[in-house]
Structure 1
């Protein structure tokens, strides 16, 4: 990747930016699905994992900050057990996506969460998405196996 296109996540800025819901959804919900077809969820999941490997985060605060900075929404930890966690994601972008379609793809975020938790917990992880239509949010369950460790 050339330096001119690389996002520098270490840059601290007080600059406020807005993201057009139409522009974001045009790319994510129409163009990507047109290009990727029926394999969209799987490709987005693995794409999320790839992004997480490019931007490894060391703790939950960094993870929450990344979601905010990427305009994916506000991420919160709801529960944490010995081998699983539940996250909640809320965003105005989610409201339109959850209400507009019978099929939802939050697999980019799911893959990103799986890889980050895998990195932090040092065990193979997988994430499952659970859109909650009534409350316009997405719940993610991340499960990992302490016995299936990574280096």
Structure 2
């Protein structure tokens, strides 16, 4: 979350641009409701990480995403993730 406080993007498009610039991959919002958002992270970075590490962690990206949404909505957030295969990660942001 500290990274997001330092690099506040202000928009959903800004989040996508930051993920690309940071080399984290291509992130797209896949569904958006009042209290929950789903995001899909894909790209070569995910494939490389998955090949190099048996169970890679995406807590940094989840924390960043949660903080960005919290700053944009002014509501508390938490984010979880799941990697359903070796080429994508699904983040779920829960909004209070």
Q: TM-score, normalised by structure 1?
A: 0.60
Distance 2:21 2:63 in 1: 17
Q: Is the 8 A contact 2:34 2:95 kept in 1?
A: no
Unaligned runs of 5+ residues in structure 1 are 1-48, 146-151
What is the match of residue 20 of structure 2?
Answer: 68
Bigger radius of gyration among the two: 1
What is the match of residue 52 of structure 1?
Answer: 4
Superposed CA RMSD in Å reads 1.2
CA gap 1:75/1:87 in 2 versus in 1, 3 angstroms: same
Unaligned runs of 5+ residues in structure 2 are none
Q: TM-score, normalised by structure 2?
A: 0.92
Q: Deviations over 1:119-148 (max 9, x none)?
A: 0111110110111215x1011000010xxx
What is the match of residue 33 of structure 2?
Answer: 81
Distance 1:97 1:70 in 2: 14
Question: Which structure has greater strand proportion?
Answer: 2
Higher relative contact order (CA 8 A, sep 6+): 2
